Amino acid sequence: MTCFDRSDLGLLLLRLGTGGVLAAHGTQKLFGWFGGGGLEGTGTAMEAMGYTPGKASAVAAGLAEAGGGTLLALGLATPAAGAAAAGAMVGAAAVHLPNGFFAMNGGYEHAASLALTAAGLAVAGPGRLSLDHALGHTVNRRWMVPVALGVTAAATLAVVGARNKRVREAAEGKQEALFEEFEEFEE
């Protein structure tokens, strides 16, 4: 079949929208575009959020978002692009998790939505209105989907787990200090 159907158009719209948002978000981190902090500002923020080293974390997140988003929009290397973007957004969702679900309260709603859409595109594929299709799916093979998602899931779990441990230890350290001060006050 050579004509495009509505699923091809739907996948194109999802790819362009999600990929565009992710690419813009990543360029804020990498280059300071669109009011972003660039590598220095984002690196400092990443350190404060528990992602260390901050600058390396900013580069990794920025590349996953900007690169993954651009590739998703183009429909190129869709399994890897979607997995990378999804992993970056799971990392962002971890930061917002304590604020609950809704974005209006600083929650993880937006990050989770982008992560699920990127992962869904990795699984569904780019459709026929894509560079993957035009290039004969050389970087969009069936086996690449579980590999890309599996490797990204493992890396994301390790990074987010280490971040959560650092945040928890820092919070425990602050809590202990409060108790020590309180005990000294009572004596």
| Share above pLDDT 70 across residues of the chain, in percent, rounded to a whole number | 92
Q: What is the pLDDT of residue 178?
A: 46
Q: What is the pLDDT of residue 174?
A: 73
pLDDT at residue 2 is higher than 80: no
| Share above pLDDT 90 across residues of the chain, in percent, rounded to a whole number | 88
For the entire predicted model, the pTM comes to 0.88
Tell me whether residue 181 is exposed, middle or buried, using C-beta atoms within 10 angstroms of its C-beta: 0 to 12, 13 to 18, 19 or more: exposed
pLDDT at residue 185 is higher than 70: no
What whole-number distance in Å separates Cα of residue 22 and Cα of residue 90? 13
Q: What is the pLDDT of residues 161-175, one digit of tens each?
A: 999 999 999 988 775
- Would you tell me how many other CB atoms lie within 10 Å of the CB of residue 58? 24
Query: How sure is the predictor about 3, in pLDDT bands with cuts at 50, 70 and 90?
Result: confident
